[in-house]
Structure 1
Amino acid sequence: MPQPAGRAQRRGGGSRKPREERWAELFAVATDIFHEKGYEGASLQDIADRLGMLKGSLYYYIHSKEDLLFEVINEVHRQGLENIVALASQPGDPLQKLRNVIVGHIEHMCRHLTGTTVFLHEMESLPPERQAEILGGEHAYRSVFLDLVSKAKADGLVRDDIDPKLASLAILGSVNWVYRWFRPGGEFTPRHIGEQFADLILRGLVAD
């Protein structure tokens, strides 16, 4: 896991856990508490108590609660983007790649439900400039979907009346909503949900 941004490397002494291990624990606990209580309801004291640390010790790793939320959301976005970029790079025509991305994106979200929920619920708790720092100037995540729809249309695989930008927004909006109702161990597996959504979406795009 990447180290927190803007913090100097420090060496612990004695029996203290390595910094990387302690940061991973802090990251996991913060993600859980932001998920349980929401950003506004969570406190650094909550996080410190669950870690068995003094609140002041958290400042060894972060400057503020906002910094911690930024680190959580940034890492969730990084992992998700890495996943869909890899899927979009697999062999196949643009529609097949789009199908792979839709299925794989839904599977990834469902298997990382806590982090996904924090990302989608709490992004707007960050200032606009920090949101932009995570998403990128061109919204890199959305750009993967836009690029595939645009290429599929250019290849004659998507209907002429489809606007790629609107289509990519509709696709991402619909698949992202899965986190609201998906329950692990429920009626549908992540794979089944992904395949069903991909079928529905592609049937609405494909040219005759």
Structure 2
Amino acid sequence: MSSSQSDVQRRLLSAATRLFAEQGFDRTSVSQIVEAAGVTKGAMYHYFRSKDDLLYEVYARVLREQTRRMETFAASDEPVGDRLHAIAADVVVSTIANLDDTTIFFQSMHRLAPDTRAAVRRQRRRYHERFRGLIEEGQRSGEFRADKPAEVIVDFFFGAVHHLGFWYRPSGELSAREVGDHFADLLLDSLRPTAG
């Protein structure tokens, strides 16, 4: 979570995430959130205009951190395959680390106001476009196969990432890092040029 966020913001987001996960977005009231966070409604409205804003921020803070980390990996001097592997593994690990946040958001995104929903889609699209750019870089250099559209590869990969909330359990046999490495390995294996 951003160090620039106040303690009140952190408490509100933590309480909202827990309550949205336990009882759903629709059944959670602002009164319940502020009571669980131990703040006043006035304090909440100082930072968030509505419950919708809280839902938006639950996911947006994760996406901002994932984007920051992706840009760090993408800017390195490593070969494109290594950069893409690092980013692919990282997005899985960070999604698992924030599984409640991402699951809640995707389950409740349709409840957001249209302009807020559109803003999230734009932010996520920018992330996906940067990811696609690395695939296209590898396709141009010959490191990756070029017979599959990069856009389809991106959709295929992120479809699997967004599905993590349905099956991943922290108590399972695989750690988040292991799952991330498996996802990244599968992605890179699928991008290797085919013989002939």
Q: Same fold (TM over 0.5)?
A: yes
Is 2:111 the partner of 1:128? no
Q: Which amino acid aligns with 1:183?
A: R
Correspondence for 2:154: 168
Correspondence for 1:13: none
* Higher radius of gyration, 1 or 2: 1
Is 2:164 the partner of 1:191? no
Deviation (angstroms), 1:83: 2.1
2:65 equivalent among 67, 79, 88: 79
Deviation (angstroms), 1:150: 0.6
Deviation (angstroms), 1:2: 7.3
CA distance in 1, matches of 2:20, 2:127: 23
Contact 1:135 1:141 in 2 (8 A): no
Q: Which secondary structure state, in structure 1, belongs to the residue aligned with residue 145 of structure 2? A: coil
Correspondence for 2:136: 150
Deviation (angstroms), 1:160: 2.8
Give 1 or 2: higher helix fraction.
2
Is 2:14 the partner of 1:28? yes
Deviation (angstroms), 1:164: 0.8
1:105 equivalent among 82, 85, 91: 91
Fraction of identical pairs, as percent: 27
| TM-score, L = length of structure 2 | 0.86
Contact 1:106 1:190 in 2 (8 A): yes
Correspondence for 1:90: 76
Q: Which secondary structure state, in structure 2, belongs to the residue aligned with residue 136 of structure 1? A: helix
Deviation (angstroms), 1:54: 4.7
RMSD: 2.2
Q: Which amino acid aligns with 1:199?
A: D
Unmatched tracts of structure 1, length 5 or more = 5-19
Correspondence for 1:67: 53
Correspondence for 2:165: 179
Q: Which secondary structure state, in structure 2, belongs to the residue aligned with residue 96 of structure 1? A: helix
| TM-score, L = length of structure 1 | 0.82
CA distance in 2, matches of 1:168, 1:46: 39
Contact 2:80 2:134 in 1 (8 A): yes
Contact 2:52 2:113 in 1 (8 A): no
Q: Which amino acid aligns with 1:193?
A: V
Q: State the aligned residue count.
A: 193
Q: Which amino acid aligns with 2:184?
A: A
